[in-house]
Amino acid sequence: MAKIIAFGNRKGGVGKSTLTLLTATAISSAPFNKKVLVIDADDQQSLVRYRNEDVTENLEAELPYKIISCLGDINKLHDTLKRASTTHDYIFIDVAGRLDEFTKKVLFYVDVLGVPFQAGNFALESTFDYIQFALNVSQKRVANKMSAIKLIGFVNMYMKRRVRSKDIRESLEAFENHLNVMDNNLGFYSAFMDASTLETVYEKEAKDTAKTNFIKWLNEFIKLAQL
């Protein structure tokens, strides 16, 4: 059975879609080479748009994974997950950060939920609301004899020399009773913002600072998520 993964936060601009892209592309490529499917259920359809742009620029590119649009249609999502669960290793779902019924239904399918805390963003109340929302869904999963959602928190867009980055790191650690807190932060690099849906930034012997940061972050995420 495929493991279903999502990145979520009620705050916009914390990098949910970018994190989905980076992680899915890496896991579907060497050295992992897993069978991956991405479902874009976010209103903005960012991943669908990124894939279309990448393919337009490289018409002969081999797709490392499929990206399927599933906007506001829980029945289509259910049918897609049912079909793909036995043919894929991992399924990523990109969903909006709203605390509504559709998001609740999506999260009910999710096994691993990564919660990015954005460096420099002090609006932690909305992040806590999202975590509580996810924990409530997790309880319903357990009541239905499913495993609890594994919540993993980490700092995204971290800038080492900024005081705000230190503050957000300390705030994240205060959430340790609610989720698994990662030691590695994911930095703010153009290599991440400009990443392709066709080529991974994960290189085992990378010397580039951004790629080295991503390697450390992804290796820890894989370990905590038990991927």
Q: What is the DSSP string of 152-207?
A: EEEEEEE-TT-HHHHHHHHHHHTTTTTSEEPSSPEE--HHHHT--SSS-S--TT--
Domains in the chain, please, with CATH? 3-219 (3.40.50.300)
Residue (of 151, 9, 189) closest to 94 by Cα position: 9
Q: Distance between CA atoms of 219 and 84, rounded to whole angstroms?
A: 25
pLDDT(223) > 60:
yes
DSSP-based three-state secondary structure for 123: coil
**What pLDDT score does 161 carry?**
66
Query: Contact at 8 Å (CB) between 210 and 191?
Result: yes
Instruction: Name the residue with tokens 């990124």.
Output: 50
Q: What is the pLDDT of residues 141-191, one digit of tens each?
A: 999 999 999 999 999 988 776 666 667 877 788 888 889 999 999 999 999
The angle formed by the CA atoms of residues 173, 177 and 179, to the nearest 5 degrees, is 75
pLDDT(44) > 90:
yes
DSSP notation for 67-120: EEE--S-HHHHHHHHHHHTTT-SEEEEEE----SHHHHHHHTT-SEEEEEEETT
Q: What is the pLDDT of residues 187-214, one digit of tens each?
A: 999 999 999 999 999 987 778 999 999 9
Q: What is the pLDDT of residues 62-108, one digit of tens each?
A: 999 999 999 999 999 999 999 999 999 999 999 998 999 999 999 99
pTM score? 0.94
